[in-house]
Amino acid sequence: MNCTNCGQNNADGAAFCVSCGAALNAAPPSPPPAAAAPAYSAPAYAAPAQVAQPPVPNHLVWAILATICCCLPTGIVAIIFAAQVDGKAASGDYDGARKASDNAKLWSWISLGLGLFGGLAYAGLVMLGAIADAGNY
């Protein structure tokens, strides 16, 4: 092995460098713990910043209810946005998570609105049909 201090080639297993006397076996293990210490402390400093972020509501329940009860195509759009919220929040993309959350809420309401409108329109058509049928007799 080569001495880490002076580069002298020493016999494998030698405890000290024959050229400069530096410890050969003790020297290599000591740098990794020193280098690893900042790597372990860095997440500890970064963690409080993430904890400080409030949870982003994903509106997934509303999106699913809107899809089942009201309007399927727009409800699926709401579910897609709702599904993006948790993933983006977990990856630290809080702006993206909030945008997806807002979109999920928006499309859930659009679904509810279309569902109510569609229901009223359907009821209206049924009544018109009933009136038209009544007129035929």
CA distances from 58 to 12, 121, 129 (A): 60, 31, 42
Measured from the CB atom, the residue of 21 and 73 that comes closer to Zn ion is 21
Query: Do 59 and 108 meet the contact criterion of CB atoms below 8 Å apart?
Result: yes
- Where do we find the tokens 């959350």? 101
Measured from the CB atom, the residue of 5 and 83 that comes closer to Zn ion is 5
The reply to whether 4 sits near Zn ion by the rule CB under 5 A is no
Q: Considering only residues 18 through 47, tell me which ones interact with Zn ion, judged by CB under 5 A.
A: 19-20, 22
Chain centroid, CA 92 distance in Å: 7
CB of 17 to Zn ion, least distance (A): 3
Rounded Cα distance, 12 and 1, in Å: 5
Rounded Cα distance, 15 and 21, in Å: 9
Measured from the CB atom, the residue of 3 and 70 that comes closer to Zn ion is 3
The reply to whether 2 sits near Zn ion by the rule CB under 5 A is no
Measured from the CB atom, the residue of 7 and 129 that comes closer to Zn ion is 7
The stretch near Zn ion (CB under 5 A) out of 16-24, 83-91, 96-104, 105-113 is: 16-24
The reply to whether 9 sits near Zn ion by the rule CB under 5 A is no
| Candidate residues 17, 71, 82, 89; the one interacting with Zn ion per rule CB under 5 A | 17
CA distances from 36 to 31, 32, 39, 44, 46 (A): 8, 6, 5, 13, 16
Contacting residues toward Zn ion, per CB under 5 A? 3, 5-6, 8, 17, 19-20, 22
